[in-house]
Amino acid sequence: MKEQSTSVASLERQLKKHSKAAKLEVWGRVVSFSALVLIVAVVVAIIGFVASKGIATFTTNHVSLWDFLTGKNWNPGIKDAHGKPEVGALSMIVGSFLITILSALIATPFAIGTAVFMNEISPNRGAKILRPVTELLVGIPSVVYGFIGLSVVVPFTRSVFGGSGFGILSGTFVLFVMVLPTVTSMSADALRAVPRFYREASLALGATQWQTIYKVVLRAATPGLMTAVVFGMARAFGEALAVQMVIGNAALMPHSLVDPAATLTSVLTTGIGNTVMGSLQNNALWSLALVLLLMSLVFNLIVRLIGRKGRLQ
């Protein structure tokens, strides 16, 4: 009897005591959770900071949100006829969207074509040559793209399309090359995710390879391809340096693609060093940053939405 009770007690102790593995488990959880907390805190801090600074234009400087979003004159240092500061951001918002949409429009067919070639038509050569090349393109710093844009693309645009060469068209050309690798590699991933038996079934039904690609693979991969394009657009929208070097940075409503224009990012990078913290000029730039941040949130939401729709099908 006595022996039994001691063995029960020791067994109980053994069971109740945390094993080494259990301790490791807790430790691992603490580490990963604190990493998560840190990242979330950083994100919240950034959003909070940009928002508080960006809203100051409207609360402290009493600029109306409507004037900000629809005004066409951007001279934060100067007051207009009504004594209100000229902080109309419409021309920059339009510039940003134009350049983003145009470069995505041009890049998408090339990217999907490359991805199809890499995955469906010639997987061997695709894996050997094209994949490393696209990955190389991703690694080139944006200032290099900007410099090439300034010394090659701008003179090219000037001689072919006229104007000074600086403008949305040059920006589009540069961004096209910059978003191409992103869209290509994500499109390739999307095509690879299409199950093999889709293709087999299609070919077994007597479809040609092109019919299989066009009617089956691309259709099945549509949500993934759309995600790729939206990601490319998000990159184009946020790109600052390369665009700033070729777009001309004139805060004017774009009347043609070869006139100098400005994007939200290009005005931010040129202007931030010349303003004083807390002044209207500075707050107005923060408001632009807030618009950029909100837009990237919107792009993320769109990606989420597409992902969810894709899963339901």
Partner 1 sequence: MTKKRWFQGIGLILLVALGVFAYQTRQVSHAGQSITAVGSTALQPLVEAAGEQYTGEHLGTFINVQGGGTGTGLSQIQEGAVQIGNSDLFASEQKGITSKQLVDHRVAVVGITPIVNRKNGVQNLTTQQLTAVFTGQVTNWKQVGGADRPIVIINRAQGSGTRATFEKFGMNGHRSRTAQEQDSSGMVRQIVATTPGAISYVAFSYVDKTVDALHLNGVAPTEANVIDNHWKIWSYEHLYTNGQPTGLTKDFIAYVESPAIQKTLVRQLGYLSPDQMHIERDVTGKVTQIGGAR
Dist CA 224 CA 235 (whole Å): 17
Q: Does 248 bind partner 1 (CB under 8 A)?
A: yes
Give the residue, chosen from 61, 122, 222, 275, that forms a contact with partner 1 under the rule CB under 8 A.
275
Cβ contact 152:185 at 8 Å: no
Dist CA 296 CA 304 (whole Å): 12
Q: Does 28 bind partner 1 (CB under 8 A)?
A: no
Per-residue binding letters, 67-96, with partner 1 (x by CB under 8 A): ------xxxxxx------------------
The HSE-up count of residue 300 (CA atoms within 13 Å, CB side) is 7
Give the residue, chosen from 1, 21, 204, 277, that forms a contact with partner 1 under the rule CB under 8 A.
277
The one segment of 26-34, 43-51, 130-138, 241-249 that binds partner 1 by CB under 8 A:
241-249
First to last CA, the chain: 66
Q: Which residues 144-203 are close enough to bind partner 1 by CB under 8 A?
A: 150-151, 154-155, 158, 164-166
52 vs 274 by CB, closer to partner 1: 274
Closest of 59, 2, 25, 44 to residue 287, by C-alpha: 59
Q: Does 274 bind partner 1 (CB under 8 A)?
A: yes
Q: What is the DSSP string of 1-37?
A: -HHHHHHHHHHHHHHHSPPHHHHHHHHHHHHHHHHHH
Min CB(163)–partner 1 separation in Å: 9
Cβ contact 287:89 at 8 Å: yes
Min CB(242)–partner 1 separation in Å: 13
Dist CA 122 CA 47 (whole Å): 45
Q: Does 56 bind partner 1 (CB under 8 A)?
A: no
Q: How far is CA 33 from the centre of its chain?
A: 27
Give the residue, chosen from 251, 258, 289, 292, that forms a contact with partner 1 under the rule CB under 8 A.
251
Q: Count of residues binding partner 1 (CB under 8 A)? A: 37
Q: Does 122 bind partner 1 (CB under 8 A)?
A: no
Site residues for partner 1 per CB under 8 A? 73-78, 150-151, 154-155, 158, 164-166, 244-245, 248-252, 260, 262, 269-282
